[in-house]
Structure 1
Amino acid sequence: MRLLADSSSFAQVSGELVETVGPQAMVAFFCAILGLSFVAFAFSRWACLGRRWTVKAKV
């Protein structure tokens, strides 16, 4: 069984994806993932701060 953690797997998959869908679609996909991660971070911060928005929080 081949693991996905070998050194060339991400580059190989990314290269095949760029050839299949094009570079603009791939950049749009990664931007969507980045946007979703920002939203998840904001909601987790909101939940950790007692569901109130605080600009500065004492750590």
Structure 2
Amino acid sequence: MEDGWARNLRDGKSVVVHIVPLYEGTSKRPYRINVTWRVNGKEEFRDFSNESKGKPRDR
């Protein structure tokens, strides 16, 4: 996705990106990240889940 934005910028196209992290309660870790971008006015959207995949670290 980011490589595509970079390619479009190198080609002289207009690229606008809007990233919105979504949080639950008082958590500092977003549970979802919504990304909307426009290349020369054509809008696209992607929604990412941001769940922890590993086991908790021992302290």
TM range (shorter): under 0.3
TM-score, normalization by structure 1: 0.23
TM-score, normalization by structure 2: 0.23
Structure number with the higher strand fraction is: 2
